[in-house]
Amino acid sequence: MKRFYYMLFLSVTLLACSKQNEVGGDKDTETYTPCGIYKSGQKLYKGSKGGCFYYNSKGNKEYVERSACKC
């Protein structure tokens, strides 16, 4: 019986940790300042390493040439 409770505790702990990681996910928590408009009308942003990107319709970053950013 102790083994059952131990396994239950362990699985609940692992589940809680994995859910906590999903909340943060791999999405950026930083906020970016707009640096212009791309050809197709999306707002451009400059990343922390100098990359220039916009968010596509799925919410993912699409990188473009650095010269497109005006900041």
pLDDT in tens, 23-45: 334 455 567 888 999 988 999 99
Q: Which whole number is the average pLDDT over 1-5?
A: 77
Strand residue runs (E) in the chain: 34-37, 43-46, 52-55, 61-64
Give the three-class secondary structure for 6.
helix
What pLDDT is attached to residue 9? 61
Boundaries of every domain in the chain: 2-68
- The answer to whether the pTM exceeds 0.75 is no
What pLDDT is attached to residue 48? 84
What pLDDT is attached to residue 53? 94
